[in-house]
């Protein structure tokens, strides 16, 4: 039962993430932020949902929140043993560290 329960949350989180991706590509960063936040709420230990939220927050010019979301993605990545992240760890780190740096630069202005 617990595996099925977890799987349903992951499927819902992935669906919200896909919806966020579509909204982000269409230029609606604010709506994308909401979708990524919901994905993060449903599956709080999945780094990519926080990383995607960081990117959308940067586009929405919410730099402090973007920095926090990017840092959360990096922290979770560091703790994540899943193969999805270990095989491409350096790419994920570079991507999310860049988002954190972008937010910090904007905050310093």
> At 61, is the secondary structure helix, strand, or coil?
coil
Q: Is the dihedral of CA 24, 74, 41, 58 positive or negative?
A: negative
Higher local confidence (pLDDT), 97 or 28: 28
> What pLDDT score was predicted for residue 85?
57
Please give the mean pLDDT across all residues of the chain: 88
Assign 95 a pLDDT band (cuts: 50, 70, 90). Answer: confident
- Whether 6 has a pLDDT exceeding 60, the answer reads yes
Average pLDDT over residues 11-30: 98
Burial of 31 (0-12, 13-18, 19+ CB in 10 A): middle
- Whether 89 has a pLDDT exceeding 70, the answer reads no
> What pLDDT score was predicted for residue 21?
98
> What pLDDT score was predicted for residue 72?
94
> What pLDDT score was predicted for residue 88?
64
What pTM was computed for the model?
Answer: 0.83
CB 17 within 8 Å of CB 48: yes
Domains in the chain and their CATH numbers? Answer: 2-108 (1.25.40.10)
CB 56 within 8 Å of CB 24: yes
> What pLDDT score was predicted for residue 50?
96
């Amino acid at each position: 039962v617990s595996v099925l329960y977890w799987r349903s949350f992951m499927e819902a989180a992935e669906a919200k993430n896909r919806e966020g991706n579509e909204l982000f590509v269409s230029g609606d960063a604010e709506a994308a932020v909401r979708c990524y936040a919901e994905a993060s709420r449903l599956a709080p230990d999945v780094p990519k949902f926080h990383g995607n939220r960081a990117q959308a927050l940067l586009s929405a010019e919410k730099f402090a929140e973007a920095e926090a979301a990017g840092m959360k993605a990096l922290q979770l990545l560091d703790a994540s043993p899943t193969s999805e992240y270990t095989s491409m760890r350096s790419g994920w780190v570079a991507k999310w560290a860049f988002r954190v740096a972008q937010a910090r630069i904007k905050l310093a202005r």
